Structure 1
């Protein structure tokens, strides 16, 4: 992402130190779907796989509570750090993880509305997409009242309390039909599912994903 204009000099939680850390937001739709035989369809979703970048003049890094928002100089996917009380801020960092070459290995906490990969350019990089070195992954939560990543809301990464269709595609619990299930657990083996599980869904292997079975129960 291109280096935006100026960054506020009085950030709430170190946004000034983050002025040159520009990021690519990947809006989540990661309800690791499955076919009727529960073949993994997660490749159809949009995991963090690429990033924008800019020179990191102050050596800052993302921390929990830092904020960011869309970068007007790098549309449509570019994001940058903002002071949390600025009008351009749209999300807050719930958690900050190391970057990973395995998208499925990035597991954010419940309530994460979007996943953002941060890159850094050292030296005279131009800050354009793909020109930086991935450094962090930010689990972001919207500052607005819209939270698709909340359990049951139908968006974000799949978490306990979400609902899935009979083919293991994440759906909003409020609109779940007769063939839907509630996620009671995300585990490695079917035998690890809780007792209320009525439909353990075995997924095909996906590198880095920490679970292989969706424990489905009554909605």
Structure 2
């Protein structure tokens, strides 16, 4: 990701609104720790503890934690095959990113890495994958622990 953006809370109907909060979780989150977001979250916004200035609307402090965000308009990187979001889901594509590691990429080839595999199903254990499976992918979210992937 590299670039840092400032986000400010506004009504979803505001012309300045770019995303909506799907869920908000409070507390300190360890770097690399799993998040608890709805499945098709586009991005996770980590929130630092702050106290609004007197000029800001609202009178309460904002606690640390994270917000699960969904863009108001496309693109939706959290959707299957789009190459982003906090979860790998059925329909997503991945590429080999090192020993025993894969990373998500856009299935249409528009991302920085070409897709090598597509996750075609989710099962409880590797033995539940079809015989055409060429790669087993650890999934997160509610779909099941193992993704069965075929070569693209």
**Do the structures match in fold with TM over 0.5?**
yes
Q: Which has the higher helix share?
A: 1
1:190 maps to 2:126? yes
Bigger proportion of residues as strand: 2
What is the match of residue 161 of structure 1?
A: 91
Task: Give the whole-Å Cα distance in 2 for the aligned partners of 1:164 and 1:172.
Answer: 8
Partner of 1:111: 40
Matched, 1:216 2:149: yes
Q: Tell me the alpha carbon deviations over residues 171-204 of structure 1, each in whole angstroms, 9 at most, x when there is no partner.
A: 211239997211235678534x53255123477x
Residues 135-194 of structure 1: CA deviation (Å, up to 9, x unaligned): x32111111222122110112232221011244232211239997211235678534x53
For 2:56, the equivalent position in structure 1 comes to: none
Q: Return the TM-score normalized by structure 2.
A: 0.63
* SS of equivalent residue, structure 1 residue 139: strand
Q: Residue 20 of structure 2 aligns with which residue?
A: 92
Unaligned stretches of 5+ residues in structure 2: 54-61
Matched, 1:120 2:46: no
Write the deviation string for residues 96-134 of structure 1: whole angstroms up to 9, x where unpaired: 33442253311433332211122333699xxxxxxx851
What is the TM-score normalised by the length of structure 1? 0.47
Contact 2:95 2:114 in 1 (8 A): no
Structure 1: 4+ residue segments shifted above 4 A: 176-179, 185-189, 209-214
Contact 1:113 1:148 in 2 (8 A): yes
Distance of aligned partners of 1:80 and 1:154 in 2 relative to their CA distance in 1, 3 Å threshold: same
Unpaired runs of 5+ residues, structure 1, are 1-26, 28-45, 47-74, 125-131, 204-208
Alpha-carbon offset, residue 85 of structure 1: 1.3
